[in-house]
Each structure stands twice: as structure tokens, then as C-alpha cells.
Amino acid sequence: MRYAVVRTTSVAQIKQKVNFMNAKSIDFNAFNEHYSYFQQLLRKNKMEEVAPEKLEKYHFPDVQQYEALLKMTPGIILLVDYSQHSYLYHSQNISLLDVDIDLMYQYGTTYTFCLFHKDHYEVMRSQIFPEMYKLFSEYIIKGESHNLRLAYCNKMRTPSGEYKWFMHHLSVLTSSKNEPVIGLKHMIEIDQFKKDNAIDFTAYVINPDNSQNIILKKTFNPEDASILSKREKEVFTLLAQGKTSKQIANELNISTHTVNNHRKNMLQKTNTANVSELMSVASQR
């Protein structure tokens, strides 16, 4: 892995060095304005005095140097085999979580789910994970899983015992009928930035021109989920799948009358008039 940093002293020199870019797409007037602004910041803070005229190329040929670089990042890097629910790699920043490394590798994602806030796990299990795996399957079949990106946030337990907000960002590295579904996961603590209690979930795809198209975006309020009983949540999940009361009764081995009572209670608890409105409110949250 190689990194090259070259210090330039003028916009003209920068123009000469961006031959890998389409110059027609660059607004050099705006570029010049930004460049001048940041040069002023450098001079104001005397940072130009400590910046060398020329920086040599730096090489990162081994894992130890790569690990040292990861320690400087604010987030956690994980390689996850989703076909086996196991972990293949973790960065040292995993210490941001209240995690036992041996147990993490022994029990995989099943163990790390225990770090989720209880109410948040209910939302993840019943709402977000089904959507994630559905998208996994869809894009693997289309042969476009490498363009899929998934992001969600939730609260996880930290070494102090306190639950803090983390943003999870997932990219699929390998996936086909003959390969495991391996994801590159980046987690970063956002507790100081998070201003509400909503669990956000977004799925998007990367286009050939590197632009992004959002294909799914949902927000869930764990407080709303916690007001439903365990059985009501099961009924709700099956309703969301389009099943009738009779089908739900058969699947849960209860009477149709009981299913209808659960439906009635859910409407009362969420202050909705019918199942369609219940689903609409749930999708907005």
C-alpha cells in the first residue's frame, strides 16, 4: 500500500497535477477561492513553517504498520462472514466496546448482539435485519452486491457500562453462490452528535460515476417498539409481511380471535385507526 503526498504552492501547479481528472468539471474560480482560504488558515496558524517543502513517499508493507494507522482512526473496522455469522478480523479500536474478543470469535455476531441496547435489538431483529438480508439476496442474485451499501445506527454497550450511539456502515466484499458473503464493516461512535432517539437505516447503491442512489430509508423509534408485548411484535412482523389473521394464527398456533385482539391492542397503543395506518406510522418511525 503506498501513499504519496506532494505539496504545491500555486493553483497553476495544481492544475498541472490533476491530469487524471476531467478539467472541464472543475470550477477553478471556486477552487482558487477555497485554496486561498486554506492557505490563509495555514499562515495564520503558522502551519506552513512546520510543513516540509517536499514529502517523501510512505510505504505500508506489513500488517503492523497498517494496524498502527487504524489506531489513528476514530472507528472500528471489522470483517464479517455473514454466511456463517462469524468474524474474520477486527481492528484494535474494538476496545471502544464492552467486548470479550475470545467470545466474539467463538460465538460471532450472536455474541455482539448482546451488546445492543435491549430495545434497539428488538428493532434490529424485527425490522432492520430482515431488510438487510433481503437486500443482500437481491443484489447477490443480480451480481451487483459490490455496489450495495448499508448504514444504520443504534446504541451499544461501552466498557464503562454506558450505552452509546454507533453508526454502522457495511460494504459487501465477496458474494456469490460459491463464495461466502463477507462484509467490510466500519463503526464509529456518534453519541456526541446524535440528538434524537431514532434508529436510522439507509441502503444505497454506488453508480458507475460514483454517485449514490438511496434505495431504502427508514427511521424507527425504539420507544414505540417497546410498548408492544412480545406476542404483539410477532403479530406485527407477520402483518408487515402481508399475512392474514388466519395465516398468522396458524403460524403462531393461536386462535384467529386472539390474533384480532392483538391487532386491536396494537392500534390502541399506537393511536392508529387501522392496520394500514399502523404500518404507515411504523415505516415513518
Q: Enumerate the domain spans of the chain.
A: 2-58, 67-223, 227-284
| Amino acid 38: pLDDT | 78
Do 172 and 146 contact (CB within 8 A), yes or no? yes
Residues 6+ apart with CB under 8 A from 169: 149, 150, 151, 185, 186, 187, 188
Task: Compute the distance between CA of residue 255 and CA of residue 239 in angstroms, rounded to an integer.
Answer: 15
| Amino acid 176: pLDDT | 64
* C-alpha distances in Å from residue 129, one per residue of 73, 82, 124, 152, 261: 27, 12, 6, 10, 27
Q: Nearest 10 degrees: CA dihedral of 148, 218, 91, 189?
A: 150
Residues 6+ apart with CB under 8 A from 229: 265
| Amino acid 140: pLDDT | 84
Give the right CATH number for 67-223 from 3.30.56.10, 3.40.630.10, 3.30.450.20, 3.40.50.1980: 3.30.450.20
| Amino acid 51: pLDDT | 56
What are 92-127's pLDDT values in tens digits?
889 999 999 999 999 988 899 889 998 888 888 888
| Amino acid 212: pLDDT | 93
Under CATH, to which class is 227-284 assigned? Answer: mainly alpha
Do 212 and 147 contact (CB within 8 A), yes or no? no
pLDDT along the chain (285 residues), means of 10: 40 50 57 77 74 53 70 85 87 92 91 89 85 87 90 95 95 73 92 90 93 92 71 89 92 93 84 80 62
CA neighbor of 82 nearest in space, from 137, 158, 147, 155: 137
| Amino acid 72: pLDDT | 74
Do 215 and 196 contact (CB within 8 A), yes or no? no
This model's pTM is above 0.85: no
Task: Compute the distance between CA of residue 136 and CA of residue 161 in angstroms, rounded to an integer.
Answer: 33
